[in-house]
Amino acid sequence: MAKLKPCPCGGPDYASCCGPFHASDPAPDAQRLMRSRYSAYVLKHEDYLLATWHESTRPTSLDFSGEKWLGLEIKKSSAESNTVEFVARYKIGGRAHRMHEISRFVFEDGRWLYLDGEFPDSSSDALPPNSSPIALLAVTL
């Protein structure tokens, strides 16, 4: 039996969690897209991140500036408002940070897309521009 590879988003197996979305399957809802985008930041899948970012807010490129993603916690997800609130932890330059974001998503042409996010408190530490607003996912996460 093959050994399972844990998914960066916290799922038990990447191949049955975020892997299919990274391979081109559309995410079925905003929360699954957010989780797959977090995993894409961890794995530095820039093409996937840009392809799942709404064109009105999408940067031209991303800068993976040495951040190491440590974990994701979903706080709340709302199908009514197409939002996902989460906290993502990361290290950069040996220093621990956390990003608390409420991400907004839109459903267009049969696919969910990341639109933008807001930071509900000042506990979120900013990364360099175009790093990861995964927003983690275009802020300066």
Q: In the block, which residue shows the tokens 């995964």?
A: 134
Residue 122 scores a pLDDT above 90: no
CB atoms near residue 7 (< 10 Å): 22
Domains defined along the chain, listed by start: 14-118 (3.10.450.50)
pLDDT > 90: what percent of the chain? Answer: 78
What whole-number distance in Å separates Cα of residue 111 and Cα of residue 107?
Answer: 6
The shares of helix, strand and coil residues in the chain, as percent rounded to the nearest 5, are 20, 30, 50
Q: What is the pLDDT of residues 37-86, one digit of tens each?
A: 999 999 999 999 999 999 999 999 999 888 999 999 999 999 999 999 99
- Do residues 71 and 97 touch, judged by C-beta distance below 8 A? no
Residue 125 scores a pLDDT above 60: no
Q: Is 126 in a helix, a strand, or coil?
A: coil
Most confident of the ranges 12-21, 65-74, 128-137: 12-21
The predicted pLDDT at position 65 comes to 81
Average pLDDT over residues 28-37: 98
Q: In the block, which residue shows the tokens 């999408």?
A: 58
Task: Quickly state the pLDDT bin for 140 (edges 50, 70, 90).
Answer: very low
